[in-house]
Amino acid sequence: MIQEELIRTVVQRFKDVPTTTLTQFTNWLNTLKWYEGATVRFFMYRTAIGLAQYHGITLSDYTENTIFTQVRNWLSETEWRKIERVIFNK
């Protein structure tokens, strides 16, 4: 699976099930090849950094679960058009 396709899969999973928990997400990551899992983790990390810079979410003093929830919520609630522009530069 190419990187963009994998990231689109992640975003669509959050749109399909916006209440995905960190445990469910981690279990899903464990079904991927190791490099795909690493790509998704890096995507989530970079998205959290971007949201902190441009959308005012706070990263310091929060748990992984809290940051995951903020990223998941942004991805599940944001229109594909904006995601295309912000994440894929299209």
- Kindly report the average pLDDT of the chain as a whole number: 91
pLDDT (0 to 100) of residue 8: 95
Residue 62 lies in a domain: yes
Residue 86 lies in a domain: yes
Residue 58 lies in a domain: yes
Q: Where in the sequence is the domain holding 76, given as residue range(s)?
A: 32-90
For the cut 60, the answer to whether the pLDDT of residue 58 exceeds it is yes
CA distances from 79 to 11, 60, 75 (A): 11, 27, 8
The pTM assigned to this predicted structure is 0.87
Q: Distance (Å, rounded) from C-alpha 35 to C-alpha 72?
A: 21
Residue 90 lies in a domain: yes
* Domain count across the chain: 1
For the cut 60, the answer to whether the pLDDT of residue 1 exceeds it is no
Q: Residues 6 or more apart from 37 whose CB is under 8 A from it?
A: 29, 30
For residue 49 the two structure tokens come to: 């950094």
